[in-house]
Amino acid sequence: MSVPPTDGLVVVPSAPVRRRHLMVRLLHDPVAVAALVILALLAAASVLAPVLTSHDPIRSSLFDTLAPMGPDHPLGADGVGRDVWAQLLYGARTSLAAALVAVAVAFAVGIPAGLLGGYYRGKADAILSWASNFMMAVPAIIVLLVVMAAVSQSTYVAMAVLGLIISPSVYRLIRASVVSVREELYVDAARVSGLTDGRIMRRHILPVVQAPSIIQAAQIFGVAISIQAGLAFLGLGSPSETSWGAMLNDAFANIYTAPMLLLWPALAICLTTTSLALLANALRDALGGKKVRQKSSVQRPKTSVRPARGAKSAKPAVRNLGAELLRVDNLKVTYPVDGGTRTVVDGVSLVVERGKVLGLVGESGSGKSQTAFSLLGLLPPEAGMQADGIRFDGDELGGLGRGAMNRFRGKRIAYIPQEPMSNLDPSFTVGSQLVEPVRQHLRISARAAKAKVLSLLERVGITEPGRVFDSYPHQISGGMAQRVLIAGAVSCDPDLLIADEPTTALDVTVQAEILDLIRSLQDERNMGVILVTHDFGVVADICDRVTVMRSGKLVETADVAELFANPQADYTRMLLASTLEDAKPRTALKGPAVGRRDRTA
């Protein structure tokens, strides 16, 4: 088939997007600037305390008891003659450092647990959720009082215990964020590319959870400062540790004689917690992806030109054309339902030859995609899969774990999804998402990987590969996104390509080009291809053999020409008859006119 290129494959005419540095974005927010200034002044004052005052914060003098503000005591002295200014400066050290310990412990425990529970689910999630619920049922204040009374009077030990008690709230937040994104199609696309779970979590999961984590970190920081102040107010803690809570304790004892003593520590606590909350909100907005467009005039590119079918192959050496590449024997997939099981794929057997295209055809719900996911090892944890054998080029794939399957996925078995825009992570440029699997599997430098990706983008008919490489997914059209995913699928020179209805979301003319592109890449690279589709027109266009499925079972398998000429099964004949080619034209609908305005209205 040869169809002229169309505008459906042209990059959306928008200027490149440049992300400002996080600090630059924060400095454009007046609230964030004010919060940063206050926190910076508090931190600097605590660090420079020996320079800003010559008084010892724990040294008392009966002669200076409740001394008023003056040259020697800028903020006066407390009930035992200690300098209030010195206590305020040195107390910031204790209060800020102790709160930081609580935040660090809470996130050191909560983030890994949330990632593991939310990403893997199953038993790990059940155990971690039980532990989280148990810890949240423990009365935190009582535990802290017991620890400080029986174990240690150190404020930092108490804050480490507080961080452990608060960690379940971090776990729940991270787990909920991970669960909400783990089923996204771009995460599945990363799995299909053969990326390890660690890289998927670091690359695609963590960016999603960082914004809510920052908000919660600020909240925990404020809570920790308040709890530490409360413990010190109760007289718990080392006498050698000066803190804002200890200042409140003394001020409360002298509230009628020197009420101003209460102002300074209360003001410090309020300023710190409020500034943290405002800064966290500003960080959330900045990390939300606000962008600034470059002021550059970019012309709309002309229509893309598809390389000729005889273009130079990126993968030389035709290997053993027609040899058996994949054999599946008696595949069965089940799901648990209401105490029993439901079989969605039942006894499917098929063979894919190297250099040939096998069409997997059937109605929606016939088990085509479940069969493809079984071969890729992407079935959900609750699914059960059995097979007498899944042999790929001499290797048995049945029973392999996720780590073992990553040796095949992306590198030797590639996948093209049916929804291109949903399979690209909107947080990263197109180029960065294509380069990562290439570097992972081929072990080449970033520069070499970029050169290979740019070459592939040009090969799949993209006229401005550099522009598309630097674009974000929202800047390209659906047809262009499909070409990007095809380039990514063949980037590691796979032996088997599984295409799951790759033209479903595209218009007719773009479908024709995508199918022609898949066929030309298959020819030049001698790949075996499984094409999942419900369209017999697609089957007739590019397939060599076809397997028809219905309700999870095979109906018949035959060469394409033989099946079209002499279908054996009634179901196959029904599917062929349902196409519009060579069918009698439909007549107008009978009955009342449709769309006529109701005159009585």
Q: Which residue has the higher pLDDT, 171 or 211?
A: 171
Domain residue ranges in the chain = 57-265, 324-577
Q: pLDDT by residue (tens digit) across 139-165?
A: 877 888 788 777 777 888 888 988 999
Q: Which residue has the higher pLDDT, 25 or 89?
A: 89
The span from the CA of 389 to the CA of 399, in Å, is: 10
DSSP string, 510-529: HHHHHHHHHHHHHHHHT-EE
pLDDT for position 546: 92
Residue 349 main-chain phi, psi, to 5 deg = -130, 135
Of the pLDDT bands very low, low, confident and very high (cuts 50, 70, 90), residue 21 is low
CATH topology match: 57-265 vs 324-577: no
pLDDT for position 322: 53
Count the helix, strand and coil residues of the chain and give each as a percent rounded to the nearest 5. Answer: 50, 15, 35
Length of the chain: 601
The average confidence (pLDDT) of the chain is: 79
DSSP string, 211-256: HHHHHHHHHHHHHHHHHHHHHHHTT-S-TT---HHHHHHHHHHTTT
Q: What is the CATH number assigned to the segment(s) 324-577? A: 3.40.50.300
Q: pLDDT by residue (tens digit) across 538-552?
A: 888 888 899 999 888
| Rama region for 552: left / alpha / beta (φ>0; ψ in -120 to 50; rest) | left
577 three-class SS: helix
How large a percentage of the chain has pLDDT more than 70? Answer: 84
Beta bridge partners of 547: 360, 557
pLDDT for position 101: 92
Is pTM, for the whole model, over 0.85?
no
Superfamily per CATH, domain 57-265: MetI-like (1.10.3720.10)
The span from the CA of 279 to the CA of 77, in Å, is: 33
Q: pLDDT by residue (tens digit) across 256-273?
A: 888 888 888 889 888 888
pLDDT at 105 over 90: yes
Nearest to residue 2, comparing CAs of 517, 543, 479? 517
Which ranges of 443-505 does DSSP label H, i.e. alpha helix?
A: 446-459, 465-469, 478-489
Residues 568, 571, 577, 581: what is their CA dihedral angle, to the nearest 10 degrees?
-80
How large a percentage of the chain has pLDDT more than 90? Answer: 7
| Span 511-526, average pLDDT | 81
Beta bridge partners of 343: 334
DSSP state letter for 15: P
For residue 297, CA distances in Å to 13, 174, 294 come to 10, 42, 9
Nearest to residue 575, comparing CAs of 563, 562, 586? 563
Of the pLDDT bands very low, low, confident and very high (cuts 50, 70, 90), residue 104 is very high
What does the buried/exposed string (b/e) look like for 410-420 if buried means 16 or more CB atoms within 10 Å of the residue's CB?
Answer: bbbbbbbbbbb
Q: pLDDT by residue (tens digit) across 379-418?
A: 887 888 888 889 898 888 887 777 788 788 878 888 888 7
Q: pLDDT by residue (tens digit) across 295-344?
A: 333 333 333 333 333 333 344 344 455 588 999 999 999 998 887 888 99
pLDDT for position 125: 83
Task: Name all contacts of 336-340 with Cβ < 8 Å and 24+ positions apart.
Answer: 336/382, 336/384
Place of tokens 């909350």: 277
CB 353 within 8 A of CB 325: yes
pLDDT for position 305: 35
The span from the CA of 262 to the CA of 500, in Å, is: 69
* Choice among 5-19, 170-184, 395-409, 466-480 with the minimum mean pLDDT: 5-19
The span from the CA of 499 to the CA of 407, in Å, is: 19
Of the pLDDT bands very low, low, confident and very high (cuts 50, 70, 90), residue 109 is very high
Q: pLDDT by residue (tens digit) across 26-55?
A: 788 888 889 889 988 988 988 898 888 888
Q: pLDDT by residue (tens digit) across 464-495?
A: 888 889 888 888 887 788 888 888 888 888 88
Residue 344: what residue type?
V
Q: Which residue has the higher pLDDT, 463 or 312?
A: 463
- Contacts with 595 (C-beta within 8 Å, 6 or more apart), sequence order: none
| Span 69-81, average pLDDT | 84
Q: pLDDT by residue (tens digit) across 278-300?
A: 887 787 777 654 443 333 333 33
pLDDT for position 308: 36
Both tokens of residue 193? 């590319």
pLDDT for position 594: 41
Of the pLDDT bands very low, low, confident and very high (cuts 50, 70, 90), residue 462 is confident
Of the pLDDT bands very low, low, confident and very high (cuts 50, 70, 90), residue 103 is very high
